[in-house]
Each structure stands twice: as structure tokens, then as C-alpha cells.
């Protein structure tokens, strides 16, 4: 069975390699605008379903895995920053505070699907102006929800986490492995 990751994220590709030896990547070119009334904790899963469904429509014989990650602070959804000022705004808001990282995952195979969300709590140290600006200058926060990557070696803002570390990177691989196994039994592959 072909396995397709509906993402271009190099971080997700690396993580999915922990679960599967062989897969292909086909990024889903979908509108990621969220409805105004969506609950923040449901947003990542909704986008994951949208991405997986888009790829599954042309690849119904493949197991398609769609994902999306958001950062949520005080009921505000932080996606990828729009520019450097937006990145700084996000980092300032997260400084010294606890927020949630939510990754939604959707699995599609032959017209059947299942989806789930994983939530991890993250607490930041108080960040200095200098460390925020130095990090933003690297360009690394620009393609990451919440304007940071926990795996980035030149920026270490995290004081503590509660939950799955890999979820913060972008894919909760331990849960994904279990969900895929259950889903394949459900669809009659195993």
C-alpha cells in the first residue's frame, strides 16, 4: 500500500520516517482560511482533514496522512507568522506564559477516514528582546506555527512541556502509529 504524507514539511517527513520506511510527499494546495466561529482546539484537525481529503480525492488507493499544527494562547490561534513583526508579536505574547500546541491528523483510505488531535502544553521562559530579534533574524520562525520551533538549536525558549514533544515539532508519532494500526484494521487491511 502506498503511503502519502499530505505535507511538504521537512520536520514531518523526518518524523514520519520513524513510523514508516517508505512514503511519498504530496503537499495539499488548499485554502487554509479558518471559519470565524471555529473553536481553536478544533482548527488543526479541520485543516488536517481538508488537506488529507484533497490528496485522497486523487489517490484513493493510498493511505493519505494529513496534518496541521497550531499554537493556541488565550483562545487565539497562532499559525505561521505573516512577517517579522507578526513573529515578534507572537513571541512577546508567549514569553513567560503557557500555551498549547495542537496537531490535527487525518487518515484517509478508499473513501474511509478518521481524524484526531493531540495537545501539548508548553511553558516559555521570559524572553529578552535581543533573543527574540536574533531568532527572527535567522528566518527560522517564519514557517512555524507560533513563530518558533522547539527543535531549533539557536533558540531555546521552552521551560517545560506536558505531553508529546514530537507533537510540538509537528507530528505526534507515537499516537499516529497506534491510530494507523487501528484504522487499517477498521478498513480491513490488517
Residue 68 annotated to the active site: yes
pTM over 0.85: yes
Contact between 82 and 132 (Cβ < 8 Å) = no
Q: Which residue has the cell 517508505?
A: 22
- pLDDT of 154 > 90? The answer is no
**Which of 27-41, 52-66, 99-113, 160-174 shows the lowest per-residue confidence on average (mean pLDDT)?**
27-41
What distances in angstroms separate CA 29 from CA 55, 65, 108, 178, one per listed residue? 9, 14, 17, 27
Give the three-class secondary structure for 66: strand
Would you state the cell numbers that stand for residue 22, as one nine-digit string? 517508505
How many whole angstroms separate alpha carbon 165 and alpha carbon 171? Answer: 9
In this prediction, residue 190 carries a pLDDT of: 75
Contact between 91 and 147 (Cβ < 8 Å) = yes
In this prediction, residue 189 carries a pLDDT of: 86
- pLDDT of 165 > 80? The answer is yes
- Per-residue confidence at 13, pLDDT binned at 50, 70, 90? very high
What distances in angstroms separate CA 124 from CA 14, 36, 91, 98, 146, one per listed residue? 25, 28, 9, 6, 12
Q: Which of 61, 68, 86, 134 is catalytic?
A: 68
Q: For the purposes of burial, counting CB atoms within 10 Å of the CB of 81, is it exposed (0-12), middle (13-18) or buried (19 or more)?
A: buried
Amino acid at each position: 500500500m502506498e503511503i502519502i504524507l499530505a505535507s511538504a514539511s521537512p520536520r514531518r517527513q523526518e518524523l514520519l520516517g520513524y513510523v514508516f520506511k517508505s512514503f511519498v510527499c504530496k503537499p495539499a494546495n488548499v485554502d487554509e482560511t479558518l471559519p470565524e466561529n471555529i473553536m481553536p482546539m478544533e482548527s488543526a484537525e479541520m485543516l488536517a482533514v481538508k488537506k488529507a481529503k484533497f490528496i485522497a480525492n486523487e489517490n484513493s488507493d493510498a493511505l493519505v496522512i494529513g496534518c496541521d499544527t497550531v499554537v493556541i494562547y488565550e483562545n487565539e490561534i497562532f499559525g505561521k507568522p505573516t512577517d517579522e513583526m507578526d513573529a515578534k508579536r507572537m513571541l512577546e505574547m508567549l514569553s513567560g506564559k503557557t500555551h498549547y500546541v495542537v496537531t490535527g491528523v487525518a487518515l484517509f483510505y478508499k473513501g474511509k477516514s478518521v481524524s484526531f488531535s493531540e495537545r501539548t502544553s508548553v511553558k516559555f521562559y521570559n524572553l529578552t528582546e535581543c533573543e527574540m530579534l536574533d531568532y527572527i533574524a535567522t528566518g527560522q520562525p517564519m514557517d512555524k506555527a507560533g513563530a518558533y520551533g522547539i527543535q531549533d538549536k539557536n533558540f531555546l525558549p521552552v521551560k517545560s512541556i506536558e505531553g508529546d514533544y514530537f507533537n510540538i515539532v509537528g507530528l505526534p508519532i507515537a499516537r499516529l502509529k497506534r491510530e494507523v494500526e487501528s484504522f487499517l484494521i477498521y478498513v480491513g487491511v490488517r
